[in-house]
Amino acid sequence: MITGSAVYQVVEAMAPLYTAAALGYASVRWLKAFSEEQCAGINRFVATYAMPALIFDMVSTNDPYAMNGRLVAADTLQKGVMLLGLVAWAVRSSLRRRETSAGNVAASPLQWVVTAFSMAQLPSTIIMGVPILGALYGPTSKDFMKQIVVMQLCVWYNVIIFMYEYMAAKDGSIKVGPAPASPENVGSTEVAAAQPGMAVASQTTSTAVVGEVSPTHAADAEVAEAEDVALPRLAASKREQRSAARYRSTN
Confirm whether 172 is domain-assigned: yes
In a domain? residue 19:
no
Q: Note whether residue 52 is domain-resident.
A: no
Range of the domain at 159: 63-176
In a domain, 171, yes or no: yes
Q: Which residue intervals of 101-195 are DSSP H helices?
A: 109-121, 130-137, 139-151, 157-176, 186-193
Name the 3-class secondary structure at 103: coil
Query: How many CB atoms are located within 10 Å of the residue 156 CB?
Result: 20
Instruction: Please check whether residues 146 and 236 belong to one and the same domain.
Output: no
Report pLDDT for 81: 93
Number of Cβ within 10 Å of residue 4's Cβ equals 7
pLDDT tens track of the chain, all 251 residues?
Answer: 678 887 888 788 788 888 988 998 899 889 989 888 998 999 899 889 988 888 888 888 888 888 999 989 999 999 999 999 999 998 888 888 776 655 555 567 888 888 888 888 777 777 777 777 777 777 788 788 888 888 888 888 899 899 889 888 877 654 444 444 444 444 444 444 444 444 444 444 444 434 444 445 555 556 556 656 566 666 677 677 777 666 666 65
Does residue 3 sit within a domain? no
- Do residues 156 and 232 share a domain? no
As for how many domains the chain has, the answer is 2
**229 and 158 share a domain?**
no
Q: What angle do CA 171, 177, 181 make, to 5 degrees?
A: 130
Which residue, 156, 176, 196, sits at the end of a domain? 176
- Shared domain for 208 and 141, answered yes or no, is no
Pick the last residue of a domain from 145, 176, 207.
Answer: 176
